[in-house]
Structure 1
Amino acid sequence: MKTFIKYYALAITLILTSFQGISQEKDSKSELDTYPFAVADQVPAFPGCEQLSGKAMKDCTVEKITNHVNKNFNTALGKQLKIEGTTRIVVQFKIDKDGSITEVRSRSLADKANVRETLQTEANRVVSSLPKMQPGQKDGKDIAIMYSLPIAFAVPEEDKKENKKG
């Protein structure tokens, strides 16, 4: 299995130096109670990170989300779709007042429409499977927060060399 992943699957790199909130115009009813990350007094916490605070809680949550996406993203799609080089996907989602993951949507920057659609569907599936979290807080009240998660999809160098030889 490791050989398959090493030579035939894509490497997923999550660019998550920090979570970034998405500020949006609040033009729909569901967004009226959604806040950008920057205004939260306490960030949402992934299960296992709840006892931490401040930067430690944020770092723990980022790490656990990264691990979840790396573990659950179907990397075999790279070979199936014949992806070369690096492709980016940006996923936006809301951690609701009750900690549920909602309003998941993504945008791939792949050139081919079928590749874009497949990667977006997979990114949405994986992010939707995130566990319920402790919600963010502002002024002592639970709030919903929008997040943006960039994912870079890259073909490993060994796979590129192997494909040229065969």
Structure 2
Amino acid sequence: DYINRKVPGTDKYYKIILKINGKSIEFDSNRPETKLNKGEQMFNGVEVPFYAIEYAPTFPECDSELNEERKKCTSQTISRFVNRNFNTELAKDLNLKGRQRIHVIFKISKEGDIIDVKARAPHPELEKEAIRVINALPKMIPGEQKGKKVNVPYTLPIVF
């Protein structure tokens, strides 16, 4: 099917621009490469959030046919990894008191690598430590949407 349609009664076509996660995908019916074949081109370079992905990215030990089990195991494995590898003594060294909250956003690439890690924390050293730990995560089995491997953004709050 074509995503672009001819304007009825004219020789003119219109194009559709989809905005998904801040990225624009333009479909112009005058260009043959914009014909969609059962979603083949729809997910090229597009990100699908972890909560909405059809086949969630995961670690080899979490590989299951049931997507909800994959998601749960992946989330637990990431949390365990962070808990074991994050240097919590850093807060004491920086004279930070009380509960520390760090917000981390990263992507699991369509190759299964961790990319685009960003962190927000009350101190730059905590941000650096969070980024270090997330970048140390092992390679994963990539996520898939409509049978195509896609980048999957993942948000992780770290509280200690």
Q: 2:107 aligns with which of 80, 91, 94?
A: 94
Which structure shows the higher helix fraction? Answer: 1
Which has the higher Rg, Structure 1 or Structure 2?
2
Matching residue's letter, 1:146:
P
* Consecutive aligned runs of 4 or more in structure 1 exceeding 4 Å deviation: none
Contact 2:112 2:141 in 1 (8 A): yes
Matching residue's letter, 2:84:
K
* Structure 2 segments unaligned to the other structure (5+ residues): 1-19, 25-43
Residues 1:72 and 2:85 aligned together:
yes
Q: SS at the partner of 1:126?
A: helix
Q: SS at the partner of 1:150?
A: strand
* TM-score of the superposed pair, with normalisation by structure 2: 0.71
Matching residue's letter, 1:26:
K
Deviations 1:93-125 (A, max 9, x none): 0000010000001111x2xxxxx1000000000
How far apart, in 1, do the equivalents of 2:114 and 2:56 lie? Answer: 14
* TM-score of the superposed pair, with normalisation by structure 1: 0.68
Residues 1:107 and 2:104 aligned together:
no
Q: Across the two proteins, how many residue pairs are aligned to each other? A: 122
* Structure 1 segments unaligned to the other structure (5+ residues): 1-22, 111-115, 154-166
Residue 134 of structure 1 corresponds to: 141
Q: Which has the higher contact order (CA 8 A, sep 6+)?
A: 1
Matching residue's letter, 2:23:
K
Q: SS at the partner of 1:33?
A: coil
